[in-house]
Structures are given as structure tokens and as C-alpha cells.
């Protein structure tokens, strides 16, 4: 195996974190901002890209890092290595409520395709690249699904899903229609395309967007019930206008309660 072999355990229900156990000299890579805690002998270093092209010299490092810019990620990733004696642990937390999904790349012929913000961490030696769409329609109308990440190698990787996760095993020719933002990822054997919702009433009044993703088997698909974009939109809609506090939300008096309480002036 090229990737480091790591043991892990996932804790929690709605706000999960994954604890990775590293043997001496073993290491994991992670996106910036996902770190939670680590043992004293774990050493943290910032590297270009994912570290999978370190043997290709400076140019290989720059190319690996440059690909990350296309997915909107940072040029840098963080590597955590066990420099002590004996097994040591390092943990990474979910960025928002949802589930952490372990992906054993050896079960998926060494490649898994996911949303660009789904990757959490992986064993060192796993490559994090980009998966371009080869279809024009997917590029223009796919929303979050135009440029996706590909995770390649023979080790363990961990991705994050918002809300509840659903796993679907599609047979050859079996099709699943999904909201584009609800896709976590899928195996390389899945055919991914964009379809028009259709119908004037559906288009104007449906409220579900103009397009959905069409996933055709055979292969495995992971779906999330709460994409981060949907969560962010609901938070913005609920936020009071002008930055003030809205004490009337959820109360019987509503805005009238603010007037009585002296918080709203005319």
C-alpha cells in the first residue's frame, strides 16, 4: 500500500468527530479548520497541496496545490504525523451538524468522487484532486456539481455529510434523481448528468430549482439531507434585518411585542 494504514473511531451523533490512531511515523492530511485535538507527540505541518506529489519536486507540489484553487480550497493542507513512540491519536470535527463517512478507497477501485467541500481528512498518500465535468450542461447548470473533488489512492478517507446520510446502491441502468446540492459523492462507475425539471408550473412555482442531478448505475451514491448551502440560506432568511435582535420571532405578539417592550420605535 502507498497510503498509510490508520485505525479510527467516530464519536457523536449529530456533531460528530473522528479519532485517528497513528503508529510511529504514520500521518494524516486534513483541510484547514477541521482539527480538533491531538496527543503531544503529534507534529503538525503545513504543506503545498495534499503531499501526494512530494517526490515529483517543486513543480509537482505547485501543480498539486494549484488544482485545489480550482475547487475554491486553500493552496495548503495540514499534515499530522506521529513523531513519538507508540500509538498516538489525533481528532477532526465536523464543520456543521451531520455525519462523518469513512471511505475505504480499496473497495471503490481506488477512486471516489465527492462535492468540493465534503472532504474532511485522509491517510497520508491519498491524493485529493479535481474531477472536471465532460458535459457542457452539467457545467452550466450543475450548480455545486460542476467541479467536484476526486479522492484517489489505497487508503482511508473521511468525508462529511450535512444532516442525515443515505447510501444508495444502484444496479446497472438504474437511475436516481437528486437535488444537486444533496449529493455527497459517488463511485467512479456512476454516470452523472443534469436534467431539466420540466413543466411551466414546476419551473416557476416548484421552488426546487430548474435542474436536478441524474445518477445512473451501477455504483454507490451517498446523499445528504442538509447541504451547507441550504442551511446557510435558512440562517440568512431567519436573521433580523439591519442587524438588530428580533425578539418577536415565535411569540404570539410578534412585532407588537417589540413595540410594547420598547425595542421598536416609530
Q: Which residues are CB-contacts of 6 (< 8 A; sequence separation ≥ 6)?
A: 20, 21, 22, 26, 28, 123, 155, 156
pLDDT digits (tens, 9 = 90+) for 127-143: 888 886 655 444 444 44
pLDDT digits (tens, 9 = 90+) for 187-222: 999 998 887 765 454 444 444 456 778 899 999 999
Q: What is the mean pLDDT of residues 251-262?
A: 47
Give the pLDDT band (50/70/90) at residue 259.
Answer: very low
Give the pLDDT band (50/70/90) at residue 253.
Answer: very low
Backbone angles phi, psi at 54, to 5 degrees: -65, -25
Instruction: Note the pLDDT of residue 136.
Output: 43
**Mean pLDDT computed over every residue of the chain:** 77
Q: Which residues are CB-contacts of 263 (< 8 A; sequence separation ≥ 6)?
A: 244, 245, 247
Residue 172 has pLDDT above 80, yes or no: yes
Pick the range with the lowest mean pLDDT from 121-130, 182-191, 211-220, 226-235: 226-235
The better pLDDT of the pair 69, 266 is held by 69
Residue 229 has pLDDT above 80, yes or no: no
Instruction: Note the pLDDT of residue 95.
Output: 84
Half-sphere exposure of 161 (CA within 13 A, CB side): 21
Give the pLDDT band (50/70/90) at residue 260.
Answer: very low
Residue 161 has pLDDT above 60, yes or no: yes
Q: Can you give the three-state secondary structure of the chain, one letter per residue? A: CCCCCCEEEEECCCECEEEEEECCCCEEEECCCCEEEECCCEEEEEEECCCCCHHHHHHHHHHHHHHHHHCCCCCEEEEEEECCCCCEEEEEECCCCEEEEEEEHHHHCCEEEECCCCEEEEECCCEEEEECCCCHHHHHHCHHHCCEEEEECCCEEEEEEECCEEEEEECCCCEEEECHHHEEEEECCCEEEEEECCCHHHHHHCCCCCEEEEEECCEEEEEECCCHHHHHHHHHHHCCHHHCCCCCCCCCCCHHHHHHHCCCCC
Q: Can you give the three-state secondary structure of 15-60, one letter per residue? A: ECEEEEEECCCCEEEECCCCEEEECCCEEEEEEECCCCCHHHHHHH
Q: Which domains does the chain have, with CATH numbers?
A: 7-239 (3.60.160.10)
The proportion of the chain whose per-residue pLDDT surpasses 90, expressed as a percent, equals 40
Amino acid at each position: 500500500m502507498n497510503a498509510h494504514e490508520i485505525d479510527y473511531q467516530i464519536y457523536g451523533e449529530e456533531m460528530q468527530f473522528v479519532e485517528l490512531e497513528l503508529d510511529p511515523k504514520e500521518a494524516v492530511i486534513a483541510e484547514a479548520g477541521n482539527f480538533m485535538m491531538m496527543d503531544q507527540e503529534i507534529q503538525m505541518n503545513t504543506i503545498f497541496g495534499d503531499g501526494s506529489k512530494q517526490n515529483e519536486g517543486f513543480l509537482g507540489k505547485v501543480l498539486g496545490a494549484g488544482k485545489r484553487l480550482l475547487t475554491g480550497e486553500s493552496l495548503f493542507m495540514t499534515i499530522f504525523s506521529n513523531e513519538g513512540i507508540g500509538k498516538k491519536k489525533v481528532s477532526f470535527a465536523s464543520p456543521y451538524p451531520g455525519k462523518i463517512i469513512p471511505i475505504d478507497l480499496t473497495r471503490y477501485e481506488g477512486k471516489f468522487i465527492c462535492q468540493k467541500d465534503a472532504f474532511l481528512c485522509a491517510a497520508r498518500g491519498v491524493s485529493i484532486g479535481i474531477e472536471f465535468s465532460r458535459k457542457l450542461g452539467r457545467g452550466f447548470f450543475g450548480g455545486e456539481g460542476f467541479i467536484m473533488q476526486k479522492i484517489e489512492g489505497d487508503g482511508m478517507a473521511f468525508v462529511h455529510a450535512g444532516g442525515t446520510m443515505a447510501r444508495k446502491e444502484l444496479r446497472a441502468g438504474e437511475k436516481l434523481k437528486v437535488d444537486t446540492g444533496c449529493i455527497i459523492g459517488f463511485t467512479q462507475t456512476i454516470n452523472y448528468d443534469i436534467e431539466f425539471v420540466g413543466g411551466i408550473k414546476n419551473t416557476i412555482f416548484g421552488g426546487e430549482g430548474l435542474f436536478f442531478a441524474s445518477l445512473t448505475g451501477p455504483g454507490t451514491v451517498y446523499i445528504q439531507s442538509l447541504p451547507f448551502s441550504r442551511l446557510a440560506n435558512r440562517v440568512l432568511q431567519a436573521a433580523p434585518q439591519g442587524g438588530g435582535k428580533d425578539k418577536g420571532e415565535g411569540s404570539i405578539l410578534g412585532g407588537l411585542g417589540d413595540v410594547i417592550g420598547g425595542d421598536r420605535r416609530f
